[in-house]
Amino acid sequence: MMISRACLVGAYQSKLEAIASHPDIELTVVVPAFWREGSRVVRLEQVYTAGYQLVVAPVIWNGSFHLHYFPTASSLLADVRPDLLHMDEEPYNVATYHALRAARRAGVRSLFFSWQNIHRRYPEPFRRLERWVYRTADAAIAGTAAAAAVLRRKGYDGPLRVIPQFGVDADVYQPAPGTPSDRPFTIGYAGRLVSEKGLDTLVEAVAGLQGDWRLLFCGWGPWRPRLERDLGRLGFAERVTFCEGVAAIDMPACYHAMDVLVLPSRTRRNWKEQFGRVLVEAMACGVPVVGSDSGAIPSVIGNAGLVFPEGDANALRAHLAALRDQPARRRDLAALGRKRVLDCFAQQRIAAETVALYRAMYAEPPQGAAAGSA
């Protein structure tokens, strides 16, 4: 059984179908009916639901990343009687502690997932919950090697695999059919419109970019008014398009409207880019990518795109100018990006690696009996 707040997003559910396609796996996935993100409500999409059971369950403290939990976890475990609980949450969250306690009482093996790539000391009670989860879980998944290193440094010494939380369905995220249009060179950004994404660097870069270009923002967030104001002041308002409320399953059309995708993230004291899913989505769609060197971005891009020092608008501008003036280079990077996704980030591959961990866990006795109290 998997409990996953993230799997209410339809595009992510293709991993669940891929997991369930393995003949020795019987999968039940518990999701909320919706999730609050500030003033925005993300509602459950049921897109890829074949081969497994999708259960909608209530959430206490919906919208609170650290405090939320699924109050019916114990009864669901009793009903489903799984061999394994996959808790798709960070180890310091109440939801993980609550579900793993229920799993321990039921004698069910358990694992958790972590993206956290900064070594942080959390206040109580989260630090105590985190330590208990480390002692109790039978295994863990880290989204990146940096996240795995943080888990080890913080004291988790159990079985650990590095597997991104989600891959990309390469049958859905495909290059656009036909030949490119004669549109102006279009620079795209996808994701939250927030300060840590380095959008000020992107604005500064395009402000000095010569020639005809357009800027496409696919996302929402509190920085939109500032972006509109700054770009308007620079005289570029007519070159900019904002697209909000695009469902994940419809994102390929947004990527097809771009000639390059930029992820200019800026590291903060308590955050650096943990993965950059939009990078692999764009690469799967045959769109060249340019990213800063914040967090996991360089390791995700590999040799399939361009990287610049975070905050360096001049370096970003130089990359954009080069790609604008060299269509052949764009085509080469597009092909490299697509290949990298198929080799490393395809949903089927992520699912197979996850199932391999399940099998290894099933071969071992549960860890819970040796765990101490909270």
Could you give the angle at which helices 73-80 and 94-106 cross, rounded to 10 degrees?
40
The answer to whether residue 178 sits within a structural domain is no
For residues 169 and 347, the answer to whether their CB atoms sit within 8 Å is yes
Of 143, 146, 158, 4, the residue nearest 70 (C-alpha): 4
Of 269, 274, 170, 261, the residue nearest 219 (C-alpha): 261
Please report the pLDDT score of residue 367 as a whole number. 62
Please report the pLDDT score of residue 245 as a whole number. 82
The answer to whether residue 174 sits within a structural domain is no
Range of the domain at 213: 185-344
- For 281, other C-beta atoms within 10 Å of its C-beta total 25
The answer to whether residue 173 sits within a structural domain is no
**Is pLDDT of 178 > 90?**
no
The answer to whether residue 133 sits within a structural domain is yes
**Is pLDDT of 63 > 60?**
yes
Of 105, 77, 92, 79, the residue nearest 3 (C-alpha): 77
**Is pLDDT of 117 > 50?**
yes
Tell me the C-alpha distance between 81 and 60, whole Å: 23
Look up the CATH number of the domain holding residue 151.
3.40.50.2000
Measured in whole angstroms, the distance separating CA 83 from the mean position of its chain's CA atoms is 27
Residues 151, 137, single domain; the answer is yes
Residues 107, 200, single domain; the answer is no
Instruction: Kindly indicate the confidence band of residue 102, based on its pLDDT and cuts at 50, 70 and 90.
Output: very high
Residues 91, 25, single domain; the answer is yes
pLDDT exceeding 90 applies to what percent of the chain?
Answer: 91
Provide mean pLDDT across the span 32-41: 92
Residues 314, 227, single domain; the answer is yes
Q: How far is CA 94 from CA 67, 69, 148, 234, in A?
A: 5, 6, 21, 46
**Is pLDDT of 202 > 90?**
yes
Residue with more model confidence, 96 or 269: 96
Residues 298, 192, single domain; the answer is yes
Residues 296, 356, single domain; the answer is no
Tell me the C-alpha distance between 61 and 64, whole Å: 6
Residues 210, 266, single domain; the answer is yes
For residues 137 and 364, the answer to whether their CB atoms sit within 8 Å is no
**Is pLDDT of 372 > 60?**
no
Question: What is the number of alpha carbons within 13 Å of residue 172 lying toward its C-beta?
Answer: 22
Tell me the C-alpha distance between 109 and 106, whole Å: 9
Residues 27, 62, single domain; the answer is yes
Burial of residue 342 (number of CB atoms within 10 Å: 0-12, 13-18, 19+): middle
Number of domains in the chain: 2
> Does the model's pTM come out above 0.85?
yes
Please report the pLDDT score of residue 248 as a whole number. 83
Q: Each residue of 227-246: pLDDT tens digit? A: 999 999 999 999 999 999 88
Instruction: Kindly indicate the confidence band of residue 247, based on its pLDDT and cuts at 50, 70 and 90.
Output: confident
Q: Each residue of 340-354: pLDDT tens digit? A: 999 999 999 999 999
Instruction: Kindly indicate the confidence band of residue 188, based on its pLDDT and cuts at 50, 70 and 90.
Output: very high
Instruction: Kindly indicate the confidence band of residue 249, based on its pLDDT and cuts at 50, 70 and 90.
Output: confident
Burial of residue 321 (number of CB atoms within 10 Å: 0-12, 13-18, 19+): middle
Tell me the C-alpha distance between 116 and 219, whole Å: 23
